[in-house]
Amino acid sequence: MSITGSKGRDLGWAIPFPIMCMVTHALNGHIESNESIELHINTLIDIYLSRMADAGNTPSELAAILRTGVGWTGWFMFLIFYMLGFMTEFLPVESEVSKDRVIDSMGVLGMKLLRVAYDTNYIPESAGVDEIRKVFNSLVEEEVTRAQYVFASGTSKRKPRKSSMLRSANRRLSDTELLYLAAESMKRLSIAEDTLQNTKQVSISEDIENSTELLQ
């Protein structure tokens, strides 16, 4: 649903899931998988900012747009991935421990990216596009490298890359079916007592299984 909001927010929302996959691939020892994702993110930012410049935004406005985008990337990571655990169900992780590691990584990185946007003691208000971009890239790289080290220091062997489990099912997963199941789940969701335990109660994995049955 569209709403009125800040320029850059949409850009910010398009980036978290790719970054979460980058950390996951690094944790699995598949660092080469990150090349095309990194290219995707950079192209997205380059072209978006270029079009915003074409539309008349000044260099300082572009910096503000990028800063906002980075902040909303952080928000998505911190609230949606780390706090709520949403969208983590299809990650190509090898174990629950690895999944928790990725989610924790999203929490740390999310808060750091929120700082980039909203803490002028961290990044000065006068910072330009290049400076903000540099900080953003280095923070992402730091988490990816850390995940790489975790893999390298562990005893697990490099396994073949996992195919998307949705693709492996050889069918398009329609979210429309999920809506009805989500609606049922939401009846059980108490926002007032929104803890990790509650989040687990509305485990989407159950819904996926149910929706698969519905589709058959």
Residues numbered 123 to 142 that lie near another protein (CB under 8 A) are none
Q: Is 55 in the site for another protein (CB under 8 A)?
A: yes
Q: Which of 117, 127, 139, 147 binds another protein (CB under 8 A)?
A: 117
Q: How far is the CB of 145 from another protein (least distance, A)?
A: 14
* Dist CA 198 CA 190 (whole Å): 7
The residue assigned the tokens 């540099």 is 134
Q: Contacting another protein (CB under 8 A), which of 128, 159, 161, 209?
A: 161
> Cβ-count burial of 91 within 10 angstroms (0-12 exposed, 13-18 middle, 19+ buried)?
buried
Figure out which of the listed residues 52, 137, 150, 210 binds another protein, where binding follows CB under 8 A. Answer: 52
Cα-atom radius of gyration of the chain, to the nearest Å? 19
In whole angstroms, what separates CA 154 from the centre of its chain?
Answer: 25
Classify residue 32 by its DSSP letter.
G
Query: Which one among 7, 99, 150, 210 touches another protein, defined by CB under 8 A?
Result: 7
Decide whether 94 or 182 has the Cβ nearer to another protein.
182
Report the distance separating Cα 78 and Cα 114, nearest Å. Answer: 9
Q: Which amino acid would we find at residue 66? A: L
201 binds another protein (CB under 8 A): no
Residue 210 binds to another protein (criterion: CB under 8 A): no
Pairwise CA distance, residues 32 & 41, whole Å:
15
Among 130-138, 147-155, 161-169, the segment contacting another protein (CB under 8 A) = 161-169
Task: Pick between residue 13 and residue 131 the one whose CB is nearest to another protein.
Answer: 13
Least Å distance between CB 20 and another protein?
A: 8
**How many Å apart are CA 102 and CA 21, to the nearest integer?**
9
Dihedral sign for Cα atoms in the order 178, 184, 188, 191 = positive
Q: Tell me which residues in 70-109 interact with another protein (CB under 8 A).
A: 71, 75-76, 78-80, 82-84, 86-87, 90-92, 100, 104-105, 107-108
The only residue of 94, 137, 189, 210 in contact with another protein, by rule CB under 8 A: 189
Size of the chain, expressed as the number of residues it contains:
216
